[in-house]
Amino acid sequence: MREKARIPRILSLLEIIIWQQQPDVRFNQLISNLQHMYSEQNEGYGKRKMNEQNFLGNEVDSSYLDFFYLEDAEWEAFLESIVRQEKG
């Protein structure tokens, strides 16, 4: 069973320290931005490549992020590193 105390810690990092510094950012925009930062700092973690059709029907390369398997402890450590940088 996962540690329940991780939930308020992670939410606190998101709300108090990160989101309050960027109040004009929507929640899902914040999460997306953080996922892109994490992926860039961790050798493209979660990046999935795919092909899709553009409006002309041509196949184009695309990608998305999949963080389904990222452990909470790793995400929490990443958020804490952002907090440390902000306090810098």
* pLDDT tens by residue, 55-74: 999 999 999 999 999 999 99
Distances (CA, A) of 81 to 34, 48, 60: 12, 25, 35
Q: Is residue 60 part of a domain?
A: yes
Q: Is residue 57 part of a domain?
A: yes
Query: For 7-16, what is the mean pLDDT?
Result: 94
**pTM for this one?**
0.86
**What string of DSSP letters covers 55-66?**
TTS-EEEEEEE-
- Could you give the count of Cα atoms lying within 13 Å of 5 in the half-sphere of its Cβ? 0
Tokens of 79: 């958020």
Of 88 and 43, the one with more pLDDT:
43
The boundaries of the domain holding residue 58 are 6-87
Q: Is residue 1 part of a domain?
A: no
Q: How many domains does the chain have?
A: 1
Tracing tokens 């389904």 back to the chain, one arrives at 68
